[in-house]
Structure 1
Amino acid sequence: MSDPIADRPEAPPTRRGIRLQRLRLAGVTRPYDVDFRFPDGSFRPLSVIAGRTNTGKTSVLQFIAYALGGSYYPDHEEIVRQVRAALLEVVLPGGVATIERGIESKFALLFDQPLDRAGETVPQPHPIEPTSDAASLSRMLLTTVDLQDVQLPEAPAKSETDTQTLSFRDLMWLCMVLNERVGSSQLLFEGNHAKNRKLQQVVDAVFNVHQADGADLAGRIKKLNDDLTNARRDLAALEGFVREQGAVSQEQLQGVLDDAEGEMAAVRDALRRLDASESAAADMAVELRRRHQQAAREAIRARQLVRDREALVSRYASLRAQYNDDIRKLTLLKQAESIFDQLSVQVCPACLGKLPAPPTVRGSTCSLCAQPLAGPVTSLTLGVAAASRETAVAGFRQQGTSSPSDHKPATADASAEDNGHASREDANARAAVTAELASTRRRLKELNEYWAELNDSLPALRESSERADENEASLAAQVDRAASGTVAPFTVAREELLARRQDAIVRRDRANSSMKQWRGIEVRRRRITRMAGELADLRAEARGQKTRPDRSAMIAALGARFRQILSDVGYPKHDNTGSVDGRFVPSVRDRPYTSASSGGQVLQTLAWILAIFEVAYEQGGNHPGFLLIDSPQKNLGGSAKDDDKEFADVTLVERLYGHIINWLEGEGRGAQIIIVDNTPPPIVTPFIVEEFTRNPDRGRFGLIDNEVG
């Protein structure tokens, strides 16, 4: 036999039926979970819940049935005190979903997300009663096996009779066998004629051989078509509303969710490391100091940058003022001839009378006093001739020559040449002033632009410096708290991590709140797709494309499988005489199961329910694909009664489990069986998902494990 862990079956098919993944009981103080998957979350075909009596094993099966629309739940004292709701994570044809039903609630909520993410989507409410309601939970579950709207006649022998709509609660008779039906003469509810007849009709419906004369196929098609039209109209209206609200796209919201989930995962990892040992706290304290030192260096750099920039702005402001002053001087120099009086001589210095004409230079002599003039003088203003003469005399004396005043004036041609040379020098001087003025103005413009750029960058630098100071102060406070004797370093680290996690949770919740609109649209789209598929099947059935299986062949197949299981288990002295009649009553040795001993009734009960489950699954019948079995060792092995020694063999139970394991690994690959057993044999150890000890000092006490009284 292969290792159930190493040789795992593929995931259950999602096209048909239901698979159970997790059960969670929402408690007053904490949840109570039972996981039917492997530790890595993959599909587990066989799950066994072991443990002593009165620990809540059977309650697990009863809560599964309750979450799937059952009429009652276990009302033990500890459950009444602690449990407020049952949540069941399942795999439906549309994917993983979660069903939540509160205690005493007449409604169930369907979330199109796994159990841990149920809060991220908008739930769809489904009433429990009446089961015939188009929106009921029963009808939704029956759609997974194409049994919705199946009508069961109350009196099949009559041509005209009332009908009842098949409910998922009825179908659970073939999906769960509790202790009171195991080894009981009421396996087929023989004490209740109406219930017995209905059970037979349910078996016929599972194998698609039921009488559908009471069902109006055309009416079902019309109703489903109307529902589909209304659903499409509602979807279009919802999509239009979401677009009008300017909702953020799913892709953007998903990016925010991914970032938040990544941050939360990182925080979880850090918290685990923090909880592992106090060394993590020491590492965090070192990290805080390192971050504070880095923040302090960044704050110093930011302040230094602000000071340098302010000094540079001030320095360049002074330079701008200097350039402005130079421009004013050069402009004044350029405009001096037109602005200032030339101080021309207009009055005779002797008589103070006004001269008829201002003095001029005539042949290098003054027209007023006929004295010789220095060569550079070309026009006469007050004092210019004297200054020029003193300069010239000083220059000639240094050279050891006589001054021009010691000689006679040069000829007229020489004088004219001197006058032209002076004019050119004046022109060159004016050109130099103009060029210098233009150059100074250009440099001032460049300086102004650079200064403005520096000045504009100051606010951002100051803001950055303030942020750096605040960050440094915050980290300094954290370091102080970490170093103080009143708060341990790991507490500070935890506060920081929790703050990061809370920020990520807020971002995730906001994104989820917006995503709920889009998820609501997706839920409606999937519902429309499912309804369209149902409508196509009904129309195909109306066209006669479906052929009804032969009921007698189905009965024969059940009888053959019943005998095979009895042989695999090692039923004593059955002589291959096992059979199932047209009313589905099992028999061995040509006697009905009610005539067998207590141990024989148990084995025949288990073989009967397994035969129906296995044949229906292999033939693609309308069975949900899971089976719940309670107390398979009742009256067998060590529990056999004194007058029933032939069923005291413990190998009977081992061979029963061996048959189940072999079938799940073979023809039943993808099906699911969950068994509750007090003391399962060693062959089942790898399949045990929970073991309730009823010992507060060892393992899990029970389903409600904080009730240890």
Structure 2
Amino acid sequence: MSTRIKLIKLTLIGIRKNYVVSFKDGLNYISGPTQTGKTSILEMINYALGSKKHKDYIEIGQSCTSVELEIMIANKRYKIQRQLFDFEKKAKVYEWNKDKLEYSIDFKLLEIDGPSNENSLAAFLTDKVNLLNLKIANQPFSFRDIFKYSYLKQTEIDNENIMFEKIWHYDIKRKPTFEIIFNIYDQLLQELKNALKLKKEELSKLEIKLKGIREFLESIELEDFLSYVNEKNNLSNHKNERIIILNEIKDKGLLHNEITMQLQNNILFTKNQIIKIKKKISEQKEYINKLMILRNQYTSESERIELITEGYYKFNKYEFKFCPSCLQPLKEKINSECYLCGNKDVNLATEEILAYKHELKKLKTKKNNLIKYIDEEENNIKILEKEQIKFEIILTEYESELTHLHSKYVNPFIEKIEQLNYEIGSISKEIDQLEKNYQMIEKLHAIEKIYRDGMNQADEINEKIKNVEGKSQIKGNIISKLSGIFYDILDDFKLPKLSNAFIDGKRYLPYVRGKLYSELGSLGAVTLITMAYYLSILVLGSKDENNHLGLLMIDSPRSNLGANNKDGDDVFKDEDIFNSVIKFLIKLDEELGSEIQLIVINNGYPDFLDSKYIIKEFDGNGTRGVPYGLVDDINS
């Protein structure tokens, strides 16, 4: 399916080591206590897929410089790399080379921007799932819009605002995105036709380029890699034959060592200089990595102070009659006393806030100066690299001069040597020109690949158009199927008092017991309904020609369930309900494991969960034979 995405591997690039999480089809379970890095795994995936920023993670900031995410989209493999704690930096995208079984060294440098910017990561990903050039609510449709249905955050799993439907500027894109997933968006057909037209125009331009390159290669009788290899082998063999004859003739003559001694010393000196410069470059890169960690710490501390000051002002907007901690009545406020502590010197808090602001200003100044310094140090690397290139050129000149002396010294076979040197030089020029011509073959292959990919995308868009045009199911049928799946999932979850559960056909929101999910008054119920809602969209949206990404990441499904229930509803303190959720996820893996990918993180798991589903486990202290956290060497 053209819109499917599969996660292969997440790698945090560290200064001491790399931290890797590998994924598989079906259910991927990650377990561990709080503060072990579970949530950061999903956050880093979200960041690599185009989120404008990530949360402040102290251990990651102290240990890592960048994140890499390897993915599959429509049977094509890519690696996305983004720098951590520097949200303005462009993303690098590498494509997998099937022949060499590695990622190409070339990469696309993409901005973190909306899909209207064709050089953005959002545009790249939206194009790869064949949904580029669609517009909803007069705004470009983005990969990020559809990805919202693939990431159920910890802060949203019990939120009575599932898809931010209560915020109008989010809701305006939510409903059309839902319709695009199920191919029931009214304007989808026309938008797909427009996308197909643009893709054909792009292919037409590529055809012109391909024609020009092919005509050039035909004119020099070099049309494919095989002809290049054969020609180069012939020339190289011819050259080597001449070199062997030349060396045999030279061996019969004499050459005094004093003539070449200085050149040999110069060559040795130059090689040593290159080695020293390479060492300096390596040390400089390591130094910059340490500076980047320091920059991360400045960022973390700045965000902490901003949170303190913001919290102070928000907190003091309210007058409290009861203590928010112990719920005991507060004494009546006398003059300028503080409501909570009774402190008469209320200006003390203000002075502390001013001190925090002063500290924040100093931190930001330090951070900005550090960023400038890092840029200067990175420029020093470029200077060293240029110096390295200069010495490499000098080395080549010295070696050429030495070769020239060896080839030109006077001996009884001077005429034969000159003839052989001339022939070897001519062959070398032919090889150089052949390699330059081969670059045209490589360019041809690259454009042909882009053209083939474009043709495949055009075919897939055309199939989508045919599917939408010939779709016999009306919206009512889709909603009916979705509601059935939604009800069955809640039944598997053992939702107490389950009745009248469905997805509304107007706003596409879940109802249970005849009420909108947000009106049930139980966070335990909302947690189960939210998961069932996302899972039902995954199950139906991944079938046929629907446009779900086939991926769902769930953070902390145990929230408000079992022993962790925090909303006071004793019904949801039954551990059997949480176990029912896990059993359903296992059942889903058995039924659709090859078609979907589920990534679930949670604090612990029931005994019946098979170890094959657990891809990462942390224990918070490293005493049970498993790492204590994602960054598992922070104390070493």
> Could you tell me how far 1:245 is from its partner in structure 2?
11
Q: State the one-letter code of the partner of 2:16.
A: T
Indicate how the Cα distance of structure 1 residues 114 and 31 shifts in structure 2: closer, same or farther if over 3 A, else same.
farther
2:20 pairs, out of 24, 28, 33, with 33
Larger radius of gyration: 1
User: Which residue of the partner structure matches residue 703 of structure 1?
Assistant: 630
User: Which residue of the partner structure matches residue 148 of structure 2?
Assistant: 173
Indicate how the Cα distance of structure 1 residues 525 and 248 shifts in structure 2: closer, same or farther if over 3 A, else same.
closer
> Could you tell me how far 1:112 is from its partner in structure 2?
1.9
1:673 pairs, out of 593, 598, 613, with 598
Q: Is 2:67–2:82's contact at 8 Å kept on the other side of the alignment?
A: yes
Describe the superposition over 1:136-179 as per-residue Cα deviations: whole angstroms up to 9, x where unpaired.
332332344432222102xxxxxxxxx01111111111011101
Q: Is 1:90–1:96's contact at 8 Å kept on the other side of the alignment?
A: yes
Q: Is 2:13–2:65's contact at 8 Å kept on the other side of the alignment?
A: yes
RMSD of aligned residue pairs (Cα, Å):
3.9
Describe the superposition over 1:371-429 as per-residue Cα deviations: whole angstroms up to 9, x where unpaired.
xxxxxxxxxxxxxxxxxxxxxxxxxxxxxxxxxxxxxxxxxxxxxxxxxxxxxxxxxxx
* Aligned counterparts of 2:437 and 2:132: Cα–Cα separation in 1: 34
> Is 1:584 aligned with 2:571?
no
Mapping for residues 36-185 of structure 1, pairs under 5 Å: 36-37=23-24, 44-103=25-84, 104-113=87-96, 120-153=104-137, 163-185=138-160
Mapping for residues 424-573 of structure 1, pairs under 5 Å: 522-536=445-459, 546-548=469-471, 549-573=473-497
**Is the deviation greater in 138-147 or in 170-179?**
138-147
Q: Is 2:165–2:174's contact at 8 Å kept on the other side of the alignment?
A: no
Gaps of 5+ in 1: 1-12, 38-43, 154-162, 256-456, 462-512
Indicate how the Cα distance of structure 1 residues 67 and 243 shifts in structure 2: closer, same or farther if over 3 A, else same.
farther
Percent identity of the aligned residues? 25
Q: Is 1:121–1:516's contact at 8 Å kept on the other side of the alignment?
A: no
* Aligned counterparts of 2:441 and 2:56: Cα–Cα separation in 1: 39
Q: Is 1:182–1:605's contact at 8 Å kept on the other side of the alignment?
A: yes
Q: State the one-letter code of the partner of 1:704.
A: V
Gaps of 5+ in 2: 231-247, 253-435
SS at match of 2:11: strand
Q: Is 1:111–1:121's contact at 8 Å kept on the other side of the alignment?
A: yes
Q: Is 2:28–2:598's contact at 8 Å kept on the other side of the alignment?
A: yes
SS at match of 1:209: coil
Mapping for residues 252-331 of structure 1, pairs under 5 Å: none
1:191 pairs, out of 146, 166, 178, with 166
Q: Is 1:540–1:546's contact at 8 Å kept on the other side of the alignment?
A: no
Q: State the one-letter code of the partner of 1:567.
A: D
* Aligned counterparts of 2:119 and 2:55: Cα–Cα separation in 1: 26
User: Which residue of the partner structure matches residue 207 of structure 1?
Assistant: 182
User: Which residue of the partner structure matches residue 437 of structure 1?
Assistant: none
Q: State the one-letter code of the partner of 2:7.
A: L
> Could you tell me how far 1:665 is from its partner in structure 2?
1.9
Indicate how the Cα distance of structure 1 residues 239 and 631 shifts in structure 2: closer, same or farther if over 3 A, else same.
farther
**How high is the TM-score relative to the length of structure 2?**
0.60
> Could you tell me how far 1:55 is from its partner in structure 2?
1.4
Indicate how the Cα distance of structure 1 residues 707 and 522 shifts in structure 2: closer, same or farther if over 3 A, else same.
farther
* Aligned counterparts of 1:580 and 1:516: Cα–Cα separation in 2: 57
Q: Is 1:617–1:668's contact at 8 Å kept on the other side of the alignment?
A: no
Q: Is 1:122–1:516's contact at 8 Å kept on the other side of the alignment?
A: no
**How high is the TM-score relative to the length of structure 1?**
0.54
User: Which residue of the partner structure matches residue 692 of structure 1?
Assistant: 618
> Could you tell me how far 1:537 is from its partner in structure 2?
5.3
Q: Is 2:80–2:92's contact at 8 Å kept on the other side of the alignment?
A: yes
Q: Is 2:189–2:469's contact at 8 Å kept on the other side of the alignment?
A: no
